[in-house]
Amino acid sequence: MKAQSSPLSTQPKYSLQGGIHRRTESAILSATKNLIALHGASNISMIEIADASEVSRATLYNHYRDKNAVLMALITAEIERLVEAAQRAGTPADALELLSREISADTALQAMRTHDQGLLIEIMSQAQNPLYLVLATCIYEATKSEAGTGLAMRWLLGQVMQPITPKQSRDQAELLVDRTLF
């Protein structure tokens, strides 16, 4: 007798696996960000990441070889999220304000300012990192100014260590656009 295929799924098996893979990675990165917000990056382990993600250690290691790989994936996902949001923001001042607010209010960055200053400085000083260039390109697309892009990048990187208020974010973004970028 011939086996019948399941009527419940019209998607090929690999398509379903891809969705599960993305959801698992999303859960891992979300849990990692939450753990960093509570304890800092240097004070968490792969075991804690697996437990908080509600995945087995084997699953975690199937996705990421070590904690540094998880952290790089998290940074990449965060930069991509910020770039997508900035591209939808509207005006150059809106894009810069959004980036400023997100950086200044990020709870994981807040914990890292306390627990992982060396790591933050190391990450921020890697101007050759492709992620740095992705963010710089996003700012350039909004501002159409090389000089303004450089200034805005330094302004945003400064907020990683010295966050500012939402009002300061708006005021300074408008000032950058009005006086520097155009």
Chunked mean pLDDT (size 10), the chain, 182 residues: 49 57 91 97 97 96 96 94 94 95 96 91 81 91 88 92 96 89 54
> Whole-angstrom Cα distance, residue 108 to residue 32?
9
Give the E-state strand segments of the chain in sequence order. none
Domains and CATH numbers, the chain: 13-181 (1.10.357.10)
Q: What is the pTM of this model?
A: 0.83
pLDDT score of 35: 98
Contacts of 112 (CB under 8 A, 6+ apart): 36, 40, 41, 119, 120
What percent of the chain shows pLDDT beyond 70? 87
Coil vs helix vs strand at 149 = helix
How would DSSP label each residue in 84-96? HHHHTS-SHHHHH
Half-sphere exposure of 100 (CA within 13 A, CB side): 23
Give tens-digit pLDDT for 112-145: 999 999 888 888 877 788 888 999 999 998 888 8
pLDDT score of 34: 98
pLDDT score of 125: 78
Instruction: Give CA separation, 99 vs 2, 52, 70, 138, 160, in Å.
Output: 58, 28, 23, 11, 11
- Total count of residues recorded for the chain: 182
pLDDT score of 18: 58
